[in-house]
């Protein structure tokens, strides 16, 4: 499965297109299966119905843990770097991780969880988070990890959608100089979650927490009651491994479903090849496990390949903006995988923070989450990689399970701001608004995929129709990514951003509709429209246009703004707080009642010279008012 030269890549790519089944069967053979599959692929993109490795039986944790024990049982599997650099970290060898996952799996069983049950995981970035995820997989329970920055309401929505039976959390989390009371947030969430029977609470901050008799148990005490003997559950290749909620542009969270066999094969294949991982290397992915990047490239991909995965609890700017470089130096990191928003924010602190660290262990740099601008790309290349580490700008999505378009480190010639070429098995297609293929090079269009790869989503939890509508109905017969894309003269792909309405704030995906829903929940708000605008550090800032009830003449508009921010914080989380709020008397709407966002976007960007055609607006006068009041 290993690509080492550009010739290898071209050969692999050609085979993967000419005979995808033979190609992926070859890759999948390198894993440990309890029972081989009978058919490599069955699919259609109309229902859609996609099955890989049909009839194959396996357990992903046997591939991530057990099969490494003989050869590299004493090699570090996870290196944990705590938020506070003065606190001692933890290194877990494969043997230790195996042991702890089995114990945690037994704790889950003891608390009534079995195959197919859903478990919500709301944890700090500590080893126990990875252990919890793997423990679920060990016994065939389906994990739904919710990022530890989400609000009670967001957790409740996700728990209810998946009907989770159990929640794994901690008393609190440290993030930079903040302490987040996780358990108390969970308590608020659970008021509206009748499906939850048990809550397992780990001790991290030892902040006082309420422990409800019969429902809440301490993880440490539970672990004392179990042994480390837990045979892995035999899973079908197409049994659900996990649900992960994307930001959801319609407001209601969308539970992307990945299954055991295909996801494992794809995460591992892309990890090993894109980063050109070599045995013994230390891989540092700075994402949170609450996002797909953490699922695929902190937990499953690296562990399936027997790598050492570094898990960092804190933030890049704590205790100062040199923290990443400190970690690279301290742990001799070989592969660093981070996001453009982090790079841009660290750029702002100048080079002193970089220069006093030894970064010579670095071999490969990665970027993910949003388009990386040329300035950030060059800074990363010059000052972090010292022009000797290839940069892989990896384009992919929650729904794709792993990277789809990306350079292979040192193999594919890179080009700043380009995700370059499709990986083997990936068949991109650009289409125009009518779904007609745009052929040739030097063109741009909407990015679709015409053939499945093993890591593609299978459904959205509890609502297959939503999956069909969201991804497979815009252009019949194709998977639609929602992204716009340019294919240049060399056939290189560059992602130009989303064609729908989702914001990317500091690497966090937030649906405009989700923020609008939250604002509208505030008393006195009639309606709102949210758009993004370029923000130096965050990538995109949130600009909200709000129509409020008639207010008394002496009312304090600033106070109302602050109340709205508090509401958004409560409903979604602080990451979704608008950076700017403008009160307006109306919104520019088309006759069919659709808000003309492109106008609001232009005003938010401060570019009002040419607002384009506004004749289809119901009330064009409102545009002048909004322009005049822009903040």
CB 236 within 8 A of CB 218: no
Helices (H), 112-169: 127-139, 152-162
β-strands 39-44, 308-312 pairing: unpaired
CB 399 within 8 A of CB 390: no
SS3 readout for 257-295? EEEHHHHHHHHHHHHHHHCCCCCCCEEEECCCCCCHHHH
What character string, x for contact with ligand ATP (CB under 6 A) and - otherwise, covers 308-347? Answer: ----------------------------------------
Q: Minimum Å distance from CB 456 to ligand ATP? A: 13
Q: Which stretch binds ligand ATP (CB under 6 A): 23-31, 161-169, 478-486, 621-629?
A: 478-486
Q: Which stretch binds ligand ATP (CB under 6 A): 51-59, 216-224, 365-373, 564-572?
A: 365-373
Q: Minimum Å distance from CB 449 to ligand ATP? A: 12
Pick between residue 248 and residue 422 the one whose CB is nearest to ligand ATP: 248
Pick between residue 93 and residue 247 the one whose CB is nearest to ligand ATP: 247
Q: Which stretch binds ligand ATP (CB under 6 A): 115-123, 234-242, 248-256, 572-580?
A: 248-256
Chain positions 494 to 523 lying near ligand ATP, rule: CB under 6 A, are: 495, 498, 502, 509, 511
Pick between residue 40 and residue 481 the one whose CB is nearest to ligand ATP: 481
Q: Minimum Å distance from CB 167 to ligand ATP? A: 23
Q: Minimum Å distance from CB 135 to ligand ATP? A: 24
Is position 417 an interface residue for ligand ATP (rule: CB under 6 A)? no
Pick between residue 273 and residue 560 the one whose CB is nearest to ligand ATP: 273
CB 25 within 8 A of CB 237: no
Q: Minimum Å distance from CB 133 to ligand ATP? A: 17
Q: Minimum Å distance from CB 479 to ligand ATP? A: 12
Q: Which stretch binds ligand ATP (CB under 6 A): 242-250, 315-323, 540-548, 588-596?
A: 242-250
Pick between residue 93 and residue 398 the one whose CB is nearest to ligand ATP: 398
Sheet-wide strand order for 428-431: 428-431, 443-449, 479-487, 493-498
The residues pairing with 590 across neighbouring beta strands, listed in sequence order, are: 617
Q: Minimum Å distance from CB 155 to ligand ATP? A: 17
Nearest CA to 161 out of 460, 467, 458, 398 is that of: 460
Q: Which stretch binds ligand ATP (CB under 6 A): 173-181, 247-255, 532-540, 588-596?
A: 247-255
Instruction: Give the side-chain half-sphere CA count within 13 A for 466.
Output: 14
DSSP 382: I
Geometric angle at alpha carbon 497, from 375 and 565, rounded to 5°: 90
Chain positions 90 to 109 lying near ligand ATP, rule: CB under 6 A, are: none
How long, in residues, is the chain?
631
Is position 414 an interface residue for ligand ATP (rule: CB under 6 A)? no
Number of residues that bind ligand ATP (CB under 6 A): 26
Alpha-carbon Rg for the chain in angstroms: 24
Contacts of 197-201 with CB under 8 Å at 24 or more apart are 197/111, 197/112, 197/165, 197/166, 198/111, 198/112, 198/113, 198/165, 198/166, 198/167, 199/166, 199/167, 199/168, 199/169, 200/107, 200/108, 200/111, 200/166, 200/167, 200/168, 200/169, 201/169, 201/170, 201/171
Q: Distance between CA 447 and CA 437 in Å, rounded?
A: 10
Binding ligand ATP by CB under 6 A: which of 419, 423, 546, 575?
419
Is position 369 an interface residue for ligand ATP (rule: CB under 6 A)? yes
Is position 455 an interface residue for ligand ATP (rule: CB under 6 A)? no
Pick between residue 498 and residue 535 the one whose CB is nearest to ligand ATP: 498
Binding ligand ATP by CB under 6 A: which of 248, 290, 294, 385?
248
Pick between residue 314 and residue 401 the one whose CB is nearest to ligand ATP: 401
Contacts of 484-489 with CB under 8 Å at 24 or more apart are 484/444, 484/445, 484/446, 484/447, 485/428, 485/430, 485/444, 485/445, 485/446, 485/447, 486/443, 486/444, 487/430, 487/441, 487/442, 487/443, 487/444, 488/418, 488/441, 488/442, 489/441, 489/442
Chain positions 372 to 401 lying near ligand ATP, rule: CB under 6 A, are: 393-395, 397-398
Cβ-proximal residue to ligand ATP, closest one? 509
Instruction: Give the side-chain half-sphere CA count within 13 A for 131.
Output: 30
Q: Minimum Å distance from CB 450 to ligand ATP? A: 17
Q: Which stretch binds ligand ATP (CB under 6 A): 303-311, 349-357, 368-376, 451-459?
A: 368-376
What residue ranges bind ligand ATP (CB under 6 A)?
246-249, 254, 291-292, 367-371, 393-395, 397-398, 419, 481-483, 495, 498, 502, 509, 511
């Amino acid at each position: 499965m290993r690509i080492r030269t550009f010739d290898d890549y071209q050969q692999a790519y050609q085979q993967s297109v000419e005979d995808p089944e033979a190609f992926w069967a070859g890759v999948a053979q390198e894993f440990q299966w309890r029972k081989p599959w009978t058919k490599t692929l069955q699919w259609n993109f109309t229902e859609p119905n996609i099955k890989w490795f049909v009839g194959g039986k396996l357990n992903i944790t046997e591939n991530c843990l057990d099969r490494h024990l003989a050869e590299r049982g004493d090699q570090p599997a996870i290196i944990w770097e705590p938020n506070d650099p003065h606190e001692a970290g933890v290194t877990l060898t494969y043997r230790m991780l195996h042991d702890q996952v089995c114990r945690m799996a037994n704790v889950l069983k003891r608390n009534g969880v079995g195959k197919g049950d859903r478990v919500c995981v709301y944890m700090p970035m500590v080893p126990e988070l990875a252990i919890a995820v793997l423990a679920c997989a060990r016994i065939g329970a389906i994990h739904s990890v919710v990022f530890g920055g989400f609000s009670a309401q967001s957790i409740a929505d996700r728990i209810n959608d998946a009907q989770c039976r159990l929640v794994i959390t901690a008393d609190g989390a440290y993030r930079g100089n903040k302490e987040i009371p996780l358990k108390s947030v969970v308590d608020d969430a659970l008021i509206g979650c009748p499906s939850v029977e048990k809550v397992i609470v780990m001790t991290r901050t030892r902040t006082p927490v309420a422990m409800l008799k019969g429902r809440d148990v301490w993880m440490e005490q539970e672990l004392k009651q179990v042994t480390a003997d837990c045979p892995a559950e035999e899973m079908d290749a197409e049994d659900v491994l996990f649900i992960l909620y994307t930001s959801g542009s319609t407001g209601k969270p969308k539970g992307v479903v990945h299954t055991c066999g295909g996801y494992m094969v794809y995460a591992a294949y892309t990890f090993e090849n894109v980063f050109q991982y070599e045995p013994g290397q230390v891989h540092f992915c700075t994402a949170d496990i609450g996002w797909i990047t953490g699922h695929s490239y902190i937990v499953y991909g690296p562990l399936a390949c027997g790598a050492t995965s570094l898990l960092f609890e804190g933030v890049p700017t704590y205790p100062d903006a040199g923290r990443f470089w400190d970690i690279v130096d301290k742990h001799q990191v070989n592969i660093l995988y981070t996001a453009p928003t982090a790079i841009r924010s660290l750029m702002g602190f100048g080079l002193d923070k970089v220069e006093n660290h030894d970064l010579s262990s670095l071999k490969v740099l990665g970027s993910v989450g949003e388009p990386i601008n040329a300035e950030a790309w060059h800074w990363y290349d010059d000052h972090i990689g010292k022009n000797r580490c290839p940069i892989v700008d990896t384009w992919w999505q929650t729904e794709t399970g792993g990277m789809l378009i990306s350079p292979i480190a040192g193999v594919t010639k890179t080009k700043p701001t380009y995700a370059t070429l499709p990986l083997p098995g990936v068949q991109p297609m650009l289409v125009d608004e009518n779904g007609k293929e745009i052929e040739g090079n030097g063109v741009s269009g909407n990015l679709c995929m015409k053939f499945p790869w093993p890591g593609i989503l299978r459904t959205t939890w509890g609502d297959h129709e939503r999956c069909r509508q969201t991804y497979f109905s815009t252009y019949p017969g194709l998977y639609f990514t929602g992204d716009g894309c340019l294919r240049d003269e060399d056939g290189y792909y560059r992602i130009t951003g989303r064609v729908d309405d989702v914001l990317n704030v500091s690497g966090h995906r937030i649906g405009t509709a989700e923020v609008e829903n939250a604002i509208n929940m505030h008393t006195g708000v009639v309606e709102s429209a949210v758009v993004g605008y370029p923000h130096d550090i965050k990538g995109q800032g949130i600009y909200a246009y709000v129509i409020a009830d008639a207010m008394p003449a002496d009312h304090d508009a600033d106070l109302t703004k602050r109340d709205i921010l508090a509401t958004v914080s409560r409903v979604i989380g602080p990451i979704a707080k608008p950076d700017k709020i403008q009160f307006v008397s109306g919104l520019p709407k088309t006759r069919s009642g659709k808000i003309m966002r492109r106008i609001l976007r232009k005003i938010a960007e401060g570019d009002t010279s040419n607002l384009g055609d506004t004749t289809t607006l119901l009330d064009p006068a409102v545009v002048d008012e909004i322009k005049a009041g822009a903040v």
